[in-house]
Structure 1
Amino acid sequence: MNVFGRVKTSINTREAAERYGVEVNRHGKALCPFHNDRNPSLFVDDDHYHCYACGEHGDVIDLTAKLFGLKLYEAAQKLAYDFGITQDKPPDKAMQEKQNRKSEAQRLRENEKLCFSALLEYMKLLQEWKRLYVPRTPEDKHDDRFVEACHNLDYVEYLVDLLIMGDSYERKEVIEMVMTDSKLQKLQKHLKKVRKEEKHIGEQEL
């Protein structure tokens, strides 16, 4: 039996989809990774997948090829190695690098986790600053941290809400916006600086 036969008899489409970053619910429905899907229109069964919105259709090898931009034979090889069902010699370096690429769905999920983690930490920090540094009298000078919280908190809360409750299209838009122009790296650097300053202040108070 060749690699195509081994893959098709050993790996079902659903388990491959889930391994490669497509979240399939108990009804076999998922947000289609091949278009901006607002509602789950991809149906994933054991032996095939079909999107009722964009028309993408095929078996486990077709799905893997489409997710990673591979030829069908390369996709079959990737499945065989990833699921440990082949005794063939390891692929050469160029093929291994190609097979190790992450799918768009996997990259999106990883970026979503990074963005959510940073935005959630920043939101909690701003909420704390707005509570701790609010002016007690009209004559009090506004603390820079209070000003920053007033300027940014509502928007950051909105972004966090979208990442929690938004559809795939809305979440992808948030991720792309946060990842553009090194915004995420700048936010992470800002949070790191704040943590360092707070740690230094805490050590001085001991």
Structure 2
Amino acid sequence: MHLFEAVKQSVTTRQAAERYGLNVNRNGMAVCPFHRDRHPSMKVDCRYYCFGCGATGDVIDFVSLLHGISAKEAALMLARDFSILCGDGTDAPRQSAVKKLRLEAEEQKYRRMEQHCFQVLADYYHLLRRWREEHAPCQPDEAWHPLFVEALQRLNYIEYLLDGLLSDDLRERAAIVTEYGKEVRAIEQRISGLAAAGPGGREERAGQRRADAER
């Protein structure tokens, strides 16, 4: 089937109008985009007709006029956006739709990774802040707790990574997710280990014992 025929048989003008931003009421009337129309004067169904300016045609004519493109470009746009299989020797619109779905799936996967990375770093950041307060030395000659030392060493670094993940620059966020992914997984495992050890955590208790032995 020819591209134009496939599109006309698969998509009504009303479907296209709604897809490309027109509000169509229950009676199939819409504000005409082709002249200064204050009240809905265009009837859209399989075809379209404006009672105000006289514009009329099929779905391909409508999209061509709406976007200021050729009839073939309009047909290809409709085939792509409505996933229409042409059957005329080329499946380009279909392949384009499949590719678009794959890209959307990859984008969703990346966003989940980014959100997970941010959550792990945020949890670790709050832990570091708590360690800095809870394990701060009370006396000038008191040995520093290992978790207090870790907090001092890592807080600014983790804050830097969190700021990067809040950036509006997608490339900067993606670079952090890619380059620091292994480190984030290690941090996540450590947090899980501390949680499994119960309140205080084995590592915190071990650190306290080391600090006590150094006094």
- TM norm structure 1: 0.51
1:143 counterpart letter in structure 2 = H
In the alignment, which residue of structure 2 is the partner of 1:72?
93
Q: In structure 2, do the counterparts of structure 1 residues 137 and 189 end up closer, same or farther at CA, with 3 Å as the change threshold?
A: same
In the alignment, which residue of structure 1 is the partner of 2:186?
186
Instruction: Describe the superposition over 1:19-42 as per-residue Cα deviations: whole angstroms up to 9, x where unpaired.
Output: xxxxxxxxxxxxxxxxxxxxxxxx
Distance (Å, rounded) in 2 between the aligned partners of 1:13 and 1:167: 29
Q: In structure 2, do the counterparts of structure 1 residues 77 and 141 end up closer, same or farther at CA, with 3 Å as the change threshold?
A: closer
In the alignment, which residue of structure 2 is the partner of 1:144?
146
Q: How far has the Cα of 1:187 moved from its partner?
A: 1.4
1:140 counterpart letter in structure 2 = E
Match of 2:122 among 120, 123, 141: 120
Distance (Å, rounded) in 2 between the aligned partners of 1:103 and 1:10: 27
Distance (Å, rounded) in 2 between the aligned partners of 1:164 and 1:121: 15
Q: How far has the Cα of 1:153 moved from its partner?
A: 0.7
Higher relative contact order (CA 8 A, sep 6+): 1
Distance (Å, rounded) in 1 between the aligned partners of 2:98 and 2:117: 33
Distance (Å, rounded) in 2 between the aligned partners of 1:171 and 1:71: 33
Q: How far has the Cα of 1:78 moved from its partner?
A: 8.1
Q: In structure 2, do the counterparts of structure 1 residues 124 and 72 end up closer, same or farther at CA, with 3 Å as the change threshold?
A: same
Q: Is the 8 A contact 1:127 1:149 kept in 2?
A: yes
Summarize the alignment of residues 55-204 of structure 1 with structure 2, pairs less than 5 Å apart: 59=77, 61=80, 72-76=93-97, 103-179=105-181, 182-199=182-199
**Structure 2 unaligned regions, length at least 5:** 22-65, 68-75, 84-90, 202-215
Summarize the alignment of residues 7-46 of structure 1 with structure 2, pairs less than 5 Å apart: 9=16, 12=19
Instruction: Describe the superposition over 1:96-152 as per-residue Cα deviations: whole angstroms up to 9, x where unpaired.
Output: xxx667544222211110100100000000011011101111211111111111111
In the alignment, which residue of structure 1 is the partner of 2:32?
none
Q: Is the 8 A contact 2:194 2:200 kept in 1?
A: no
Higher alpha-carbon Rg: 2
Q: In structure 2, do the counterparts of structure 1 residues 100 and 108 end up closer, same or farther at CA, with 3 Å as the change threshold?
A: closer
Q: In structure 2, do the counterparts of structure 1 residues 160 and 3 end up closer, same or farther at CA, with 3 Å as the change threshold?
A: farther
Distance (Å, rounded) in 1 between the aligned partners of 2:146 and 2:104: 42
**Structure 1 unaligned regions, length at least 5:** 15-46, 49-57, 65-69, 80-98, 202-206
Distance (Å, rounded) in 2 between the aligned partners of 1:200 and 1:141: 19
Instruction: Describe the superposition over 1:137-193 as per-residue Cα deviations: whole angstroms up to 9, x where unpaired.
Output: 1211111111111111101011112212442122111111222xx223211101101
RMSD between aligned residues:
3.8
Distance (Å, rounded) in 2 between the aligned partners of 1:11 and 1:119: 43
Q: In structure 2, do the counterparts of structure 1 residues 166 and 138 end up closer, same or farther at CA, with 3 Å as the change threshold?
A: farther
